[in-house]
Amino acid sequence: MIETFLRRGKAAGIYILRSPKLLLGLVLLTSLLLLGLVGPQFVDVENARPISVPTNRPPSAEFPLGTDSGGRDVLAVIIVGTPQTLRMGLLAGIVGVVLGTSLGLIAGYYGGTLDMIISTVTDTMLTIPPLAILLVVAASVRSMSVENMALIIALLSWMFPARTIRAQVLSLREQPYVHMARLAGLSDIRIIFEEIMPNILPLAAASFVGATSGAILAGIGLEVLGLGPQRTPTLGMTIYWAQLYSALIRGLWWWWLPPILVLIVLFVGLFLVSAAMDEFVNPRLRRTG
Amino acid sequence: MKHGYLIQRLIMFFVVIVLAATLNFIIPRLAPGDPVGAVLEELRARGASTGGDAEDEIVAAYRARFGLDQPIHIQYVSFLFNTLRFDLGYSISYYPQKVEQALLRSLPWTVGLLAISTLMSFAFGSFFGALMAWPRAPAAVNRFVPFFMILSAVPYYLLGLILVYIFAFVLRWLPLGGAYASGTVPELDLDFILDVIKHGILPALSILLTSVGFWALGMRGVMVTVLGEDYLTLAEAKGLPDRRIFFAYAMRNALLPQVTSLAIALGTVASGSVLVEVIFNYPGVGWLLYNALRSSDYYMVQGVAFFLILTVAVSVLIVDLIYPLLDPRIER
């Protein structure tokens, strides 16, 4: 089992170096991570709190990205907010994928009534726009934290992983080596973990990137509507405050532009990684583009 | 067989609607405190109420008025019944208007803006995606690919903010927001229509630019498969003109799965509109929701949420019903 993982890990490693998309995507994401890790060494992150610096200052030597109307140093907000956004996305992505993969495995492997129930629920949930549920939940929860938000979003991001994993397991279940394992008297648990799991890992990894990206998108959407965490500065809440105080028509571009640029780098990075992973999982896509 | 499929789809539709209504009922009640208590707390915080017997009486009166004194299952049934009749309760900020009235008033703006830009993006993206997979397409096509791919990763409202800043604030070519110049009375004359179009360009453009890539990618994927089919080889062997093979043989067949996505995308128009309308102050459903959130108009928030689910469910149902006509294999 470990050997299989190692072999696959090596294949994936070689693939990273050969795929410019993946490399560029990882560079973009790593630079955002570094921003959050190294940034606090150079910038006083205490200035991300309201009323800690003079208001509405354009970018200067003292405040490289200026300050907002709430008396926050925009650079400090970005440095504090970027890791929060990443944390929220990763947390929601992990919970969503673990939940989705488990459900997909169970539905695909056991089939029958269990599969019917899981599939029906998945398909039903897929037709409900997540924003609608998130809105009602977020509007009811009085104090929102990054973790709360991640969990709420995670509960709505397991459906796509569940469906893709189930489809894959359905075809894997009929592979000769799985039949062999069953004939050899291996227990269901061992077949699932040793014969099927290694083969769905790339797919699970690809849907993890997708789920994370979707979770961040949903989170930012809620934040821009003002439903995000009130106490921790996040990228989306910064856009919300900027919008609320009409930063745009007051010409305070340094308030709303930096969070948007960071988010664009983040989404493009995730998109590149996910596109490269799709190509890895589905080699037919490699031909074009 | 046909009836079985139909009934199954209709049941599914009904389940989604009931589920949506149920969530609207349960979730706000899971939060600590009740609506009357929340209002009271706010009054206390502002020093407008001091507590005491009089307050208890007011609370009891309000609870009775909103039916909160009844057992939970009776509350649930009447809530469900009202929601299914599309009676979504009174809006707090537009009182005495009802939620559904406000919704129906903002709907034309959302549908007008979003449906037109979605259709444009679909048409352009599908054509572009088909060209991407076509081996004899001009080489220039593939040079645009990275541009659209990257744009498709950017949320449309973020791009919208940048567009407003450049074209409305700095260059002053287009209006900053709204659906028509403030002060004009909506009426159907040429000036007003031109004004509406002028106000619609930026929001439409931000949606168009960010969603073209999605349609192009989807179309390219299907097109690659279709191009490998035998009937395409046959068409070529017969010596049919390229243009005809491209449109009548390849693109026509590749469009089928795209139509499903289109119907669903049109259904999500309302939920996709929320943020773009916030950025552009566009007076549609999204703007209604944003204001409801800011003024804690919970009935309105729930009403809009229910409406978003309803529109998607309806369009999924329509797709499910139309699809067997397009592709008879589905029913089996």
Domain boundaries, chain B: 106-294
Q: What is the pLDDT of residues B92-126, one digit of tens each?
A: 777 677 888 888 888 888 888 888 888 999 999 99
Cα distance from N-terminal residue to C-terminal residue, chain A = 35
Using an 8 Å CB-CB cutoff, list chain B residues near A271.
149-150, 152-153
| Minimum Cα–Cα distance from B34: chain A residue | A140
pLDDT band at residue A91 using 50, 70 and 90 as cut-offs: very high
- Taking contacts as CB-CB distances below 8 angstroms, the residues of chain A near B279 are 243
Cβ proximity of B271 and A127 under 8 Å: no
- Mean of the per-residue pLDDT values of chain B: 80
Residue B44: the pLDDT is 67
Helices (H) and strands (E) in chain A, counts: 12, 0
Asked if residues B57 and B65 have their Cβ atoms less than 8 Å apart, the reply is no
Q: How many CB atoms lie within 10 A of CB A260?
A: 21
pLDDT tens digits, A127-137: 787 888 888 88
Structure tokens at A256: 């709303």
What per-residue confidence (pLDDT) applies to B168? 81
Q: What is the pLDDT of residue A172?
A: 87
Contacts of A224 in chain B (CB under 8 A): 157, 275, 278
**pLDDT above 70 for B33:** no
Interface test with B, best of A24, A125, A136 (most B CBs within 10 A): A136
Q: Do A131 and B24 touch (CB under 8 A)?
A: no
Q: Measured between beta carbons, which residues in chain B are less than 8 angstroms from residue A123?
A: 12
Interface test with A, best of B275, B276, B287 (most A CBs within 10 A): B275
> A57-66, A131-140, A230-239, B45-54 — which is least confidently predicted?
B45-54
Q: Over the stretch B200-244, which tens digit does the pLDDT of each residue have?
A: 888 888 888 888 888 888 888 888 888 888 888 888 888 888 888
Residue A24 CB contacts under 8 Å (≥ 6 apart), including other chains:
A269, A272
Cβ neighbours of A124 in B, within 8 Å = 12, 15-16, 19
The reply to whether residue A129 touches residue B308, judged by beta carbons under 8 angstroms, is yes
pLDDT at A289: 41
Nearest CA distance, B31 vs chain A (angstrom) = 6
The residue with tokens 């609607």 is B17
Which residues make Cβ contacts (< 8 Å) with residue A188, sequence separation at least 6?
A: A109
DSSP H or E stretch at residue B267:
helix B252-267
Average pLDDT, chain A: 85
Q: How far is A246 from chain B (nearest CA, A)?
A: 10
| Among chain A residues, CA nearest to B307 | A132
Give me the phi and psi of A67, to 5 degrees please: -130, 160
pTM for this entry:
0.82
- pLDDT over 80 at B57, yes or no: no
Distance between CA atoms of residues A224 and A241, nearest Å:
8
A97 pLDDT exceeds 90? yes
State the CB neighbour count (10 A cutoff) for residue B81.
11
Interface pTM, i.e. ipTM: 0.80
Q: What is the pLDDT of residue A286?
A: 60
Which residues of A, range 207-246, sit inside 8 Å of B by Cβ? 217, 220-221, 224-227, 239, 243
Tokens for A16?
A: 């990273």
- From first CA to last CA, the distance across chain B in angstroms is 8
| pLDDT tier, A276 (very low <50, low <70, confident <90, very high otherwise) | confident
Residues pairing with A73 in the sheet: A67
**B106-294 is a CATH 1.10.3720.10 domain:** yes
Q: What is the pLDDT of residue A288?
A: 46
CA dist A254 and A268 (Å) reads 21
State pLDDT tens for residues A185-228: 888 888 888 888 888 888 888 889 989 998 998 889 888 888 88
